[in-house]
């Protein structure tokens, strides 16, 4: 279950490492952590921000809502036949980096994401 931290520091979660805090933050380590965090009565009606690695985002002030810190990892690949054609699927946890996901697919002979 995702436990909510209050006044969570966001310095490590934004590109230029500006000082900022989140009113609430939840560490999402499994898919079921998202609805659990959103069901908390303290965050009802507040804005929600989803963060993974913290690149390509600049936080210049405190965030007065709930930040979901995506930490769930894992990459799974599969294949099946659809209408006589081989179809590949890739499922990735919300905490996976884009670069890591692309590298994984290429190394497994599944180009296309790059």
Whether residue 114 lies inside any domain: the answer is no
Average pLDDT over residues 106-113: 87
Task: State percent of the chain over pLDDT 90.
Answer: 64
On the question of pLDDT at 66 being above 70, the answer is yes
The per-residue pLDDT for 1 is: 55
- The domain in which residue 80 lies consists of 75-107
pLDDT band for 2, please (50, 70, 90 cuts): low
pLDDT in tens, 15-57: 888 999 999 999 999 989 999 999 999 999 999 999 987 678 8
Coil, helix or strand for 4?
Answer: strand
Number of domains in the chain: 2
The per-residue pLDDT for 97 is: 87
Residues 51 and 18 in one domain: yes
* Residue 22's CATH number: 3.30.43.10
Task: State percent of the chain over pLDDT 70.
Answer: 96
93 CA to centre of own chain: 7
Residues 55 and 9 in one domain: yes
């Amino acid at each position: 279950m995702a436990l909510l931290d209050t006044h969570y520091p966001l310095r490590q979660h934004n590109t230029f490492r500006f000082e900022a805090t989140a009113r609430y933050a939840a560490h999402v380590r499994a898919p079921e952590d998202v609805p659990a965090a959103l069901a908390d009565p303290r965050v009802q009606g507040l804005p929600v921000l989803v963060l993974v690695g913290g690149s390509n985002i600049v936080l210049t002030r405190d965030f007065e809502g709930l930040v979901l810190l995506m930490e769930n990892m894992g990459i799974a690949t599969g294949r099946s036949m659809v209408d006589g054609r081989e179809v590949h699927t890739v499922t990735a946890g919300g905490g996976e980096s884009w670069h890591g996901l692309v590298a994984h697919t290429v190394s497994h002979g599944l180009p296309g994401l790059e």
